[in-house]
Structure 1
Amino acid sequence: MPRPHPLAEPVPTVKLAARLWRDYLGRYWPMLAFSLLAMAVYAASASVIPLGVEWINSAFMGGSGRFSARAEDVILLGPMLILALGAINAGAQYLQARFSLSAALSALRDLQRAMFARFVGLDFAQMRAEASGQIISRFSNDALVLRETLTRAATAVRDALTLVGLCAMMIYYDWLLFLIVAVAYPALGWPVARIGKYLRRQSGEAQTQAGEIAALVGEAVAGARTVKTYQLEDYERARADAAFETRLRLLKGLAFARAANEPFIFLVGSVALAVVVAAVAWRISEGALDGPQFVSFIIALLLVSQPARGLGTLSAVVQEGVAAFERMLHLIDAEPSVVDRPGARPLAVAAGAISFRDVRFSYRAGAPALDGFSLEVPPGATVALVGESGAGKSTVFNLLPRLYDVEAGEILIDGQNIAETTLASLRAAIAVVSQDAHLFDDTIRANIAIGRPGAREEEIVAAAQAAAADEFIRALPDGYDARVGEHGAKLSGGQRQRVALARAFLKNAPILLLDEPTSALDAESEAKIQAALARLTKGRTTLVIAHRLATIRAADLIAVMEKGRVVERGTHDALMARGGVYARLAALQLAAPAEA
């Protein structure tokens, strides 16, 4: 998945906002319409407050230019007016928040769904290219920042409507005074915009760095055994300290910019208010305003300050949210390269014969992992791939289910080029059991059922029995409903492996890939798994990556690999008699216990 260059020109805010509306927010327009209606009621109720104050003051100051209320009227109607305006204002504010938040949170959920759906649909290479911390950061930190922006944006619309209503009220009282306000307050705009741009840039860097910290912590957790046995605590602390220092610098920059934003607005607003107060005194001396109107104008001006301040700080929040949304779009817009080709047909597996014909592949330029790899795997046979680390065995396993596409050559199953078949049908025909059996943090039943979603209970149990797992599962307090923990941490290595085997039994695929399935197991677990493997491989075309002679001896064919190609092939006895590469590897394995 391509990562944006840190110096790349950011997408214009207007364009990103349009994308956010078109793809996510727009579908919730009824909620937003109700929210807008509530905002209008809120703004109207806030705007008539100065008129209510003028009416009340007219009873205390001997009348005004528009009202001449009596004190007797205010005793009863004054409190009722205040309570009515307060109730309308509060109710409208609640409904506005409820509808706008529902729309914003629903849109955010859709964004996270889209990100996750795109992420799991990416190529294996793309998924591995992006650090896990960066991916997690987009679902957590970036989503949180965008949620704050969407929430504030709804409030900003309300503030804008309120601002318009109060400005109309000030024009109603004295248009000249309003012109003075209109000239004084826009002085805030330019520096606030500058602060907003800075915050967008800094926020993007901060979110990226948050992902790096998440990745660092994830590495420390995953590699806890290595950290302890190699005494890497100081090394890990130093790495973390450097990351936290960088985090502190970025967050300080953001915090200081935010801290300067609102006080600056308040300072300039105070200067503007001082100018307005002087102008009001002048207008009263000229007879343009009376006492109640003066008080009402000042109240309107003071009420304006809250929505004006909210709109003034909005730019900073919007820029941070835009930066977060842009990062989320980098994931949503990523396109997988391993896809069904035009005219791809479903794979039809009859016997399960596999042919690798002069296959070439490199993970990076100039370092071929497979360099002319050719191998014929007879249908129903078990073929073991043998070779030193880096010989290309795992690459063969990656290419067969098209986790990567070959660069040259072709791979055929029953004479069909897998590049011309659909990915779904190809991967449905292959079951994989690896040395590091991955279990999801769910129940044992759910982990086995991954092999065939929708399988009946009796089928799941039968698969577990075939994998020699049923006995230990039933011994657990919750049986098949027992949760396995993160990565299957609540089970032993042998138990995890047998659950993974049960999954493969349930899938019942004609082609089986076994990647060191008995490595790092105790003798008892290995014996049970070997027996289960014998049942699983029967009648299936099986490719095995193995080093142990017990596994290799049972293979129908052994392919010895060096530097990405097959250098020897044959049965165990034939290869031992030849005295070549395989015989040397076998001799080294047999000698290892004696040397130990």
Structure 2
Amino acid sequence: MAKSVSPLRKVAKPYLPLLPLVAGLGVLVSLLDGLGVGTLVPLAATMLAGDAQLQALQPGPIGLVFRLAGSIPADSRVTLLGGVALGLLVLRGAVQAGNNVLIAFIQSRFVRDLHNAMAERLTGVEFAFFLREDTARLIQVFTAFSWSVGDALRSVLAMIPALTGMAVVGALLAWLDWRLFLVVLACAVLIRGVLVLLQRRQDHFDTVSTGHVKEQGARMIAMVTAMRTTRVFGQEERERTRFADVCQRVFRAGFAWYAVGAAIMPVVSAAMAAVFVLVLVIGWQLQVPAPALIAYVILLARVEPYAAAVGQARSGISGVTGRVREVEWLLGQEPEPLVQGEPCTALDAPIRFAGVRYAYPNGAAALHGVDFSIEPGVATALIGHSGAGKSTIVNLLCRLVEPSAGAILLGERPVTALDQRDWRARIAVAGQDVMLIDGSVAENIAYGRPGASRTEIEEAAAVAGAAGFIAALPGGYDAPVGYEGSNLSGGQRQRIGLARALLRRPDLLILDEATNAVDALSEAEIMRLLGEHRHFRTALVISHRHSTLSACTNGVVVEQGRVVEAGPLQSLAYLRSMTGETV
């Protein structure tokens, strides 16, 4: 069985061809660095000892460099060698800057593509995913954690030229003196082992920290969304204490991660200093010629920046491993299996629930074999206490979820045999949980029909009883509604939501507590709408208002996930017992 490709690798795939370019530029930087250092050695020898030192030709690459330098006239040698060394080092800096710009480009484009991929995944997963997952977790993954993945990619990209630089300098060191190179290689293996242990500790603390950060985000969102309740019941101190507790845990895990990370660079620096001393001592014992030893030490000094870059990159990667796993978890969610069945051009037959059962993702039963019908062309009331199963019925009608057992039929056809997109296009929902987008009034009304004309938008607003207050807004239909409709009252938001549903001219209009935040005048307009059936064919009304239910013809009573009564509204004993009168 073939191993599945990592979701992050799929996002990064377009940029993989650029990695050889990053590595190649890294090699070029290292070569220019080595050539620049190689030029400095005969320059220093000339300035300190003159021609005598250059005439003592040495074997290997250092001898070649000295012979080339010796061919330069003595009166211009210092100036020329200094100019060449400066030019090589300046060119090295320019190439390195170009490579850094390339890395920044790849990182920025990758983060952009990552956000788009996450948005595509979120809008494509099955609706049940949002019923079982924590909202705070999704927000954190989509925002903060996704940027951490970008930082991890930058660390990987920065490591590539650093590793190639170490390889090039290592090759030069081996060419200069293989005996000293073996000493350096043995030390590098030892240092690497110590760093691996430190980075494993960092990985552990990052995983712990990620869990605490998710909990911290959940507490933050809970504080913001429940602030009204917190203030009314005087529980500010309790919420501060709970938040302080999780902040303390985040601090402890984060501090442990930083403490381990803080030890990495000092360990690298101390180890490199020890290697320098060891190379000098062993080189003297091996009677390595002074020019070669000087060149060796200078080149070895160039290893430290590369080693430091690799250490920082690995530390950066270790610091976000938990966050990377969270992003991969989100990207790895399976998309919703859209049913492309028979065309569904109209909901012109009874919609019948036949023994429908549904269980939440956690296994708790929401509906226990319900049976009822929604007749075409009439308004049906769905009645029941909170938690009775009404919202689950609405989700099933919209085919956001599918029954665990039983069937939903349109006439005699199972709705699962009908095209899912066609089905949803024939339904519109308005109610107390209306969500407005951050745009203008007109944009919100036209959300379900983006191509609607201004005339159609204004007509839907008039039918929904919203035209009056919209005209009074600064800017009218072009007025911004604010974040989630914060510039509007609850009733105004609901009426815009109703206008949005009516503009779609649905076959089935679902009103979920659509009048609980509107005044009596607006409710009268909505009741008239239900009586006239303008802009829709069939209505399902969920409400606790007696006046709203009075516009319905039939009724379905739900208790604890079971239908206890169904039929003509005026015959329902349950409703009479709740209102004390016949509807």
TM-score by length of 1: 0.88
1:209 aligned onto 2:207: no
Q: Is the 8 A contact 1:428 1:509 kept in 2?
A: yes
Q: Which residue of 2 aligns with 1:58?
A: 45
Matched, 1:339 2:337: yes
Q: CA shift at 1:439, angstroms?
A: 0.7
2:556 maps to which of 556, 559, 562: 559
Gaps of 5+ in 2: 58-62
CA distance in 1, matches of 2:84, 2:282: 30
Aligned to 1:382: 379
Higher mean displacement: 311-320 or 118-127 = 311-320
Which of 251, 259, 264 is equivalent to 2:262?
A: 259
Q: How does 1:15-414 map to 2 (within 5 A)?
A: 19=6, 22-60=9-47, 61-62=49-50, 63-64=53-54, 65=57, 66=63, 67=66, 68=70, 72-283=75-286, 286=287, 288-290=288-290, 292-336=291-335, 339-341=337-339, 344-363=341-360, 367-414=364-411
CA 360–302 in structure 1, closer or farther in 2 if over 3 Å, else same:
same
Please name the residue that 2:440 is paired with.
443
Structure 1 residues 520 and 479 mapped into 2: Cα distance closer, same or farther (>3 Å)? Answer: closer
For this pair of structures, how many residues does the alignment match?
565
Structure 1 residues 572 and 159: CA distance shift in structure 2, 3 A:
closer
| Equivalent residues of 1:135, 1:211 under 8 A apart | no
Conserved in 1, the CA contact under 8 Å of 2:431 and 2:498? no
Does 1:585 pair with 2:583?
A: no
1:143 is displaced (CA, Å) by 2.0
Partner AA of 2:80 in structure 1: L
Contact 2:555 2:568 in 1 (8 A): yes
Query: Partners of 2:92 and 2:370 in 1: how far apart?
Result: 75
| The 10-residue stretch of structure 1 (325-334 or 314-323) with the greater mean CA deviation from structure 2 | 314-323
Q: Distance in 2 between matches of 1:539 and 1:153?
A: 57
**C-alpha contact 1:32 1:103 (8 A) present in aligned 2:** no
Q: Is the deviation greater in 520-529 or in 218-227?
A: 520-529
In structure 2, the CA distance between the partners of 1:370 and 1:350, relative to structure 1 (3 Å rule), is closer
Cα 1:366–1:323, aligned 2, differ >3 Å: closer, same or farther? closer
Q: Could you tell me which residue of structure 1 aligns to residue 427 of structure 2?
A: 430
Partner of 2:60: none
Partner-residue secondary structure (3-state), 1:402: coil
Q: Is the 8 A contact 1:433 1:504 kept in 2?
A: yes
Q: Secondary structure at the match of 1:104?
A: helix
* Per-residue Cα deviation, 1:129-187 (whole angstroms, up to 9, x for no partner): 22122112212332222222211222211112211222222233322222222222221
Distance 1:587 1:311, change over 3 A: same
Shift of 1:74: 4.2
Residue 475 of structure 2: aligned partner:
478
Distance 1:208 1:112, change over 3 A: farther
Rate the CA distance shift 1:589–1:169 in 2: closer, same or farther, 3 A.
farther
Please report the TM-score for the alignment, with normalisation by the length of structure 2. 0.90
The alpha carbon displacement at 1:212 in A equals: 2.0
Answer with 397-406 or 536-545: which moved more. 536-545
Give CA-to-partner distance per residue, 1:199-254, whole Å, 9 cap, x none: 22322332232222222111111111111111121121121011101101110111
Q: Could you tell me how far apart the structure 2 residues matched to 1:22 and 1:251 are? A: 28
Q: Could you tell me how far apart the structure 1 residues matched to 2:94 and 2:525 are?
A: 68
- Counterpart AA for 2:577: R
Measured in 2, the distance between the counterparts of 1:499 and 1:455 equals 15
SS in 2 for 1:560: strand
Q: 2-side partners of 1:59 and 1:47: how far apart?
A: 19
The one-letter amino acid of 2:338's match is: D
Are the counterparts in 2 of residues 359 and 408 from structure 1 also a CA contact under 8 Å?
Answer: yes
What SS does structure 1 have at the residue aligned with 2:310? Answer: helix
Counterpart CA distance in 1 for 2:320 and 2:363 is 41
- Opposite residue 551 of structure 1, the aligned amino acid is T
Q: Is the 8 A contact 2:7 2:332 kept in 1?
A: no
Q: For 1:42, give the aligned amino acid.
A: V
| Distance of aligned partners of 1:30 and 1:364 in 2 relative to their CA distance in 1, 3 Å threshold | closer
Question: Which residue identity is paired with 1:183?
Answer: A
Change (3 A) 1:400 1:492: same
Counterparts of 1:537 and 1:97, CA distance in 2 = 62
Higher deviation after alignment, 298-307 or 117-126: 117-126
Segments ≥4 residues shifted beyond 6 Å: none
The residue aligned with 1:12 is none
Distance 1:536 1:244 in 2: 55
Q: Is the 8 A contact 2:513 2:543 kept in 1?
A: yes
Decide which moves more: 118-127 or 544-553: 118-127
In 1, are the aligned partners of 2:132 and 2:362 still within 8 Å (CA)? no
CA deviation after TM superposition for structure 1 residue 432, in Å: 0.3
- The DSSP-based 3-state class of the residue aligned with 1:440 is coil
Unaligned runs of 5+ in 1: 1-14, 591-596
Q: CA deviation at 1:82?
A: 3.3
Identity of paired residues, percent?
A: 29
Aligned Cα root-mean-square deviation (Å) = 2.6
